[in-house]
Amino acid sequence: MPIGSEFFKSLLDNFIDGVYFVDRDRTITYWNRGAERITGFAVEETVGTRCFDEVLLHIDASGTRLCHAGCPLAATIEDGEPREMEVFLHHKEGHRVPVLVRAAPIRDQIGTIIGALEVFSDNTPKMAALQRAHDLEKVAFLDPLTGLANRAFTEITLRARLEELVRYGWPLGVLFIDIDHFKEINDRHGHAVGDKALSIVANTLRAAARSFDLVGRWGGEEFVAVLVNVNDRKLAAIAERFVTLVASSRLPIDGSYTRVTVSVGATLADPRDTVAELVARADGLMYRSKETGRDRVTIGSRE
């Protein structure tokens, strides 16, 4: 690790951001405590491995895997130029975490590039999430398993947003999200693994949502997302992002991982809709996604 003294190592270890160093082969030579906190991976699990060896599995918002094509560290080692990029890393618990990564070259005394360092910051809208959690806890509208809004609070939010649509014309979209093959997960592996799948999906949806939107647990393996200020294009983009990021998450089972996917129904609200009608329409569209192969989005509108 190219650090001159224990003082600097201690300094980096106490950064709130994640920091790690790699050599020219992208073998990790240093991993600080901030990196442990953000990713869940301890130093013993990372130092000595290469950054593309199925550890962080960086992807962009479109689901493109960056470790083998598009890696900012690899590009910086190649040309010596610093880079900054918003990506989603793979947490040890299986869900995706949005991070802002910054890469810079490491040079020896004569200026030859011998590796690179990456600093990454948790890019989750923390303040908005903390405030929302505080508000939910005050009125007991927090789902205890997933930490999302429960059905009661989601219905209240939907009703308020529909009133804003009628009164002010502010557009509203709804996503009905259902975990694919959830009964099979529960039956084959037990409810503890099923609960883990719910938590992984909930954490990924929360991280992928915009800070002013709401994702709530509707019941069982179903979630509802309430999206404000969206048109057809934005509704589709957000829904596809949810599907892509969940599909790139992994559920740990007995020392290995399995893929979890969701089916989504997406619709824009109509001023004539009630909460029940709006949710029922999105639910019906979700079932079309199930019928046409799962792990996809079906979009529709009021007829």
User: What does the pLDDT look like over 216-260, one tens digit per residue?
Assistant: 999 999 999 999 999 999 999 999 999 999 999 999 888 888 999
> Catalytic residues, which ones?
221
pLDDT tens, position by position, 203-218: 999 999 988 899 999 9
Among candidate residues 122, 146, 167, the one where a domain is terminated: 122
Q: Do residues 110 and 143 share a domain?
A: no
Q: How far apart are CA 64 and CA 207, in angstroms?
A: 17
Q: Compute CA 159 distance to the chain's CA centroid, rounded to the nearest angstrom.
A: 27
Q: Do residues 26 and 60 share a domain?
A: yes
How confident is residue 67, by pLDDT bands cut at 50, 70 and 90? confident
pLDDT at 141: 83
Q: Token digits for 233?
A: 């294009």
Radius of gyration of the chain, Cα coordinates, nearest whole angstrom: 21
| Angle at CA of residue 146, ends 143 and 148, nearest 5° | 55
Nearest to 215, CA basis, from 224, 207, 238: 224
Asked whether the predicted pLDDT for residue 52 surpasses 80, the reply is no
Give the residue numbers spanning the domain of 20.
6-122
pLDDT at 137: 65
Among candidate residues 97, 122, 147, the one where a domain is terminated: 122
pLDDT at 4: 43
**Higher confidence at residue 11 or residue 139?**
11
Q: Do residues 68 and 139 share a domain?
A: no
Q: Do residues 133 and 257 share a domain?
A: yes
Task: Report the chain's mean pLDDT, rounded to a whole number.
Answer: 89
Q: Do residues 130 and 77 share a domain?
A: no
pLDDT at 131: 63
Residues contacting residue 283 through CB under 8 Å, at least 6 positions apart: 176, 265
pLDDT at 3: 42
Asked whether the predicted pLDDT for residue 27 surpasses 90, the reply is yes
pLDDT at 144: 86
